[in-house]
Amino acid sequence: MNASAPTNKYVGEDANGIGFRLDDGKLYINGVAVATFTACAKGDLVYFRVNFDNNQILITVLNGSTTIGTYLASTTNTAAWYPAITVAGGSAFSLQTFFNAGQRTFENNTNVQGWWDAAA
């Protein structure tokens, strides 16, 4: 998303962000599904590769080591773009996310239903 994206909408709900919904596998821009990939489940390790070049954004989504989809979006927005995550569920604290920008190896502890958990 870029700096103009509102904080009261999910990532991809407006033109200032591109969002992927894990549960339905759809990629959203401006609230519209622009691509459908394979849906993911709780506990899956989902990776995003984003490449900005010449007013285009190439998005590759992987579930583990398997590429589940790619999408090339055009943009004339020259503002800075930032990684963002929207987490929403039917009950409080039922979902979690761990964001890793690649600075270290991803950690996964299967003792907590597939979610990463900090060591004691």
Task: Centre a 10 Å sphere on the Cβ of residue 41 and count the other Cβ atoms it contains.
Answer: 10
pTM here? 0.74
Give the Cα separation of 73 and 54 in Å (integer).
Answer: 11
Give the Cα separation of 1 and 86 in Å (integer).
Answer: 11
pLDDT of res. 117: 57
- Beta strand pairing call for 18-21 and 26-29: antiparallel
pLDDT of res. 113: 52
pLDDT of res. 69: 93
What is the residue-averaged pLDDT of the chain?
Answer: 81
Give the Cα separation of 97 and 117 in Å (integer).
Answer: 10
Closest CA to 97 of 31, 26, 38, 46: 46
pLDDT tens-digit readout, 29-84: 999 999 999 999 887 888 888 888 877 888 899 998 899 999 998 877 677 888 88
Does 101 score more than 60 pLDDT?
yes
Give the Cα separation of 48 and 53 in Å (integer).
Answer: 16
